[in-house]
Chains A and B, each alone.
Chain A
Amino acid sequence: MGEGTLSKAQEPAVRVSMFEGLRHRLPLETYVLALTVLVWILLAVFSQYFWTTGNITDILRQVSIDAILAFGSLFPIVLAGIDLSVGSVAGLAGVIFSMLIADAGQGILVALVVTVVAGLIIGMVNGWASERLGIPPFIVTLAGLQGYRGLALLLSGGLTIAGMPPGLQKFALSSVLHVPSLFLLMLAFGLAAHFLLAYTRTGRYMYAIGSNIESARRVGIRVTLVVIISYALASLYATISGLLLVARLSMGAPTAATGSELAAIAAAVVGGASLFGGRGTILGCFIGALLFTTIGNGANLLGVNSFWQMVIEGLLIAFVVYFDNLQKRRQAGLG
């Protein structure tokens, strides 16, 4: 901090101005990453078990599935939309996939293709309904949140589906050079999503639509198409995370990923995405998901009541969004 030579009277003022200067320069993700690192250090100090290979591997596996869901949720958020159905889609995808294998006797490949196609169709319907029918995406996907979960429960009769080929779980628990395969898969899907958002026209048009849908229309962007692609990707990523859950647990559960849509959205928002659209990055989603996974893991290790964990996560979301708003208002004041 370099305060060694300062008198006591000067010290606080300098500290404040350094902090202010930083706040104007760095994106929100940087602070959330710093917070995550701080939590890691604290947990390493307070829990002997935290910094063990077994536990770190567990965190990496858990964050992989959560982060993929968060990546998917980012696409509609960038459009100033939202997809509340991703958790239910993940659950339904798991049920379809495991029933195709266990009940219909299909191979993994066939089950995979059918499930992915089903997920894509769901997403396209979400995008089409919110763009062409003019129903707010919050409502469209709220209907999906209920409807697809209900469908998962109906199809499975509310029961978990066992009888997955053992290779599936073996893969989910495997590692390449000590890095969990799930984590590598997450990296691959993350890079693909980042590539799309940062380097392609489609990605740029998502930010343009989220910033100002009228100006996007005026320059001739095919808004409907971009919206449909965006919701289709949200569903695709949800489907993939549902499939990975089946692999990890070696069974399909109709209640899998319940409530995870909110965790995914929270991860995106804590990672710097704006619910007003136009802003958000894949790296931010990952950092947000890592922070939540770490808190969950740490709470378990330290024996913190899981109800407290929810309260802490809630406070965290409120704090981060408040901090972000504060930062933006100051920038606007400067501009």
Chain B
Amino acid sequence: MAPLLEVEGLVKSFGPVDVLHGVDLSLAAGEVLALVGDNGAGKSTLIKHVAGVYRPDAGEIRLEGQPVRVESPGQARALGIETVYQDLALADELSVGANIFLGREPVKHLFGFLPIIDNRRIRTETDALLARIESQIPPRARSVSRLSGGQRQAVSIARALYWRAKVVIMDEPTAALAVMEREHVIGLARRLASEGVGVIYIGHNLIEILEVADRVSVMYRGRIVHIAKAEETNQQELIKYMTGFTGK
């Protein structure tokens, strides 16, 4: 069976600056693949290609064995690739349910012809979804602006789960969170994987990375220099590859 997501020979330059020098990556369904590396190693650039923000100069992205062109974030979403951004992904003034369904609201017809949003269905589905991920979010919160950082992440993740995303990219999801919330978000990442989603998890905290990931790949200066199973590696080894001190 083909891996869920494959990236092969991805090359990207911004003007004279070469950022990615032929990156290969593969992600299986039900796997959390961590992506670590120093600032400027190319992690964000790499995942932005998968998320449809950038287009590669060369190379290929395959989803379930099929080559795909991901030309916009909307298209990525249609393909089943969701990104959980640190902060930007939610509309603050809308409710939890409205955010989960944003852009894909269920519609019913008033008097048989007037299309209106089926708010009752959004409410019941949101309640069920939040119960499913055992979240502490008040499901009737009138706007997500009142939620904590972790709760907001949970809303984004719940959204990915509800829409049966195949690939979820989590870009430093715990960077701004308190310890308790961090644990909850890590639990949600594992939860996504247990439901068969492939998760790409970007982070800086190696203890957390080793806890959440099945495999860890290290980027250094626009290349993936090391891939290891989480249980077969440790912080020292990862740091060595991240900083380029590999003795080669």
Q: Which of A195, A212, A331 contacts B90 (CB 8 A)?
A: A212
B107→A201 contact, CB < 8 A? yes
**Shortest distance from the beta carbon of A161 to any chain B beta carbon, whole Å:** 38
In the bound complex, residues from chain A placing their C-beta under 8 Å from that of B104 are: 219
B91→A208 contact, CB < 8 A? yes
Contacts A200-B115, A200-B117, A219-B103; A207 near B91 (Cβ below 8 A): yes
In the bound complex, residues from chain B placing their C-beta under 8 Å from that of A277 are: 93
Check if A187 is an interface residue, CB within 8 A of chain B: no
Q: Give complex CA distance A331, B98 in Å.
A: 21
Q: Which of A195, A215, A335 contacts B89 (CB 8 A)?
A: A215
Q: C-beta contact mask, B84-114 vs A, less than 8 Å → 1, else 0?
A: 0000111111100010001111010010000
Q: Chain A contact residues: over half helix, strand or loop, or mixed?
A: helix
Q: Which of B88, B105, B107, B117 contacts A215 (CB 8 A)?
A: B88
**B interface size (C-beta, 8 A):** 27
- Total of A-B residue pairs, C-beta within 8 Å: 75
A218→B73 contact, CB < 8 A? yes
Q: C-beta contact mask, A164-208 vs B, less than 8 Å → 1, else 0?
A: 000000000000000000000000000000010001110010011
**Residue among B74, B83, B92 having the largest count of chain A Cβ atoms under 10 Å:** B92
Contacts A215-B88, A335-B147, A335-B148; A279 near B93 (Cβ below 8 A): yes
Check if B77 is an interface residue, CB within 8 A of chain A: yes
Q: Which of A208, A278, A332 contacts B102 (CB 8 A)?
A: A208
Check if A216 is an interface residue, CB within 8 A of chain B: yes
A217→B73 contact, CB < 8 A? yes
Q: Give complex CA distance A218, B83 in Å.
A: 10
In the bound complex, residues from chain B placing their C-beta under 8 Å from that of A220 are: 73-74, 77-78, 103
Contacts A215-B88, A219-B77; A201 near B105 (Cβ below 8 A): yes
Check if A210 is an interface residue, CB within 8 A of chain B: yes
Check if A214 is an interface residue, CB within 8 A of chain B: yes
Interface residues of B in 141-155 (CB under 8 A from A): 145-148
Q: C-beta contact mask, A212-230 vs B, less than 8 Å → 1, else 0?
A: 1011111111000000000
**Shortest distance from the beta carbon of B242 to any chain A beta carbon, whole Å:** 30
In the bound complex, residues from chain A placing their C-beta under 8 Å from that of B147 are: 335
B88→A212 contact, CB < 8 A? yes
In the bound complex, residues from chain A placing their C-beta under 8 Å from that of B2 are: none
In the bound complex, residues from chain B placing their C-beta under 8 Å from that of A200 are: 115-117
Q: C-beta contact mask, B56-81 vs A, less than 8 Å → 1, else 0?
A: 00000000000000000110011000
Check if A160 is an interface residue, CB within 8 A of chain B: no
B74→A211 contact, CB < 8 A? no
**Shortest distance from the beta carbon of A120 to any chain B beta carbon, whole Å:** 21
Q: Give complex CA distance A143, B119 in Å.
A: 40
**Shortest distance from the beta carbon of B125 to any chain A beta carbon, whole Å:** 16
Q: Give complex CA distance A218, B116 in Å.
A: 23
Contacts A199-B117, A201-B105; A216 near B89 (Cβ below 8 A): no
Contacts A204-B117, A218-B74; A211 near B105 (Cβ below 8 A): no
Q: C-beta contact mask, A221-248 vs B, less than 8 Å → 1, else 0?
A: 1000000000000000000000000000
A207→B105 contact, CB < 8 A? no
Q: Please name the residue on chain A nearest to B108 by beta carbon.
A: A199
Contacts A204-B98, A212-B91; A331 near B103 (Cβ below 8 A): no
Contacts A199-B116, A204-B117; A215 near B91 (Cβ below 8 A): yes
Contacts A199-B116, A331-B146; A211 near B77 (Cβ below 8 A): no
In the bound complex, residues from chain A placing their C-beta under 8 Å from that of B88 are: 212, 214-215, 218
Q: Give complex CA distance A331, B91 in Å.
A: 18
**Shortest distance from the beta carbon of B166 to any chain A beta carbon, whole Å:** 17
**Shortest distance from the beta carbon of B101 to any chain A beta carbon, whole Å:** 9
Q: Please name the residue on chain B nearest to A216 by beta carbon.
A: B91
In the bound complex, residues from chain A placing their C-beta under 8 Å from that of B107 are: 201
**Residue among A195, A200, A211, A216 having the largest count of chain B Cβ atoms under 10 Å:** A211
The 10 residue pairs across chains A and B that have the minimum distance between CB atoms? A278-B93, A220-B74, A219-B103, A211-B91, A211-B93, A199-B116, A208-B91, A335-B146, A218-B73, A211-B92
Q: A332-B146, A335-B148 are in contact. List 8 more A-B contacts (CB 8 A).
A: A200-B117, A204-B102, A218-B83, A221-B102, A221-B103, A278-B91, A279-B93, A335-B146
Interface on A for B, CB 8 Å cutoff? 195, 199-201, 204, 207-208, 210-212, 214-221, 277-279, 331-332, 335
In the complex, 12 of the A-B residue pairs with CB atoms within 8 angstroms, ordered by the A residue number, are: A208-B94, A208-B98, A211-B91, A215-B90, A215-B91, A216-B103, A218-B73, A218-B77, A220-B103, A335-B145, A335-B147, A335-B148
